Amino acid sequence: MNLPRPTDAELAVLNVLWDRGPSTVRQIHEVLSGDRDLGYTTVLKSLQVMTEKGLVLRDETERSHVFAATQSETQTQRSLLGDLMERAFGGSAAKLVIQALHAKRTSKQELEEIRRLLDRAEGGEG
């Protein structure tokens, strides 16, 4: 499924759905308004647009509609990463990884996980 790229505001909503699971507008609004001044109707409108785009599904069986992400966090991350890799790095995973490692300090645990992934890829398991 090739869905449109979510905006930053839509990603914020998706992050709530990935963390909490299917949620009502009120539940999503409570989480998002904790960080900033955000109106309930703004969240509702975002969810309506996201439903039209296919980013979320709306369950209308209850009085309060419940929304759920149509793709997992991993699926969305891979899609966004693939798009970025094509547009900014000419399709080169190596260029992307090199820039990512230079852009921000990487923890020892993250580096160990990267080494494990590289070892698996070299062994043909990835």
pLDDT for the residue numbered 124: 65
Secondary-structure class of domain 1-90 per CATH: mainly alpha
22, 67 contact by CB (below 8 A): yes
Count CB neighbours of 6 within 10 A.
20
Residue 80: band (very low, low, confident or very high) from pLDDT cuts 50, 70, 90: very high
Mean pLDDT value of segment 92-99: 91
31, 20 contact by CB (below 8 A): yes
The model's pTM is: 0.82
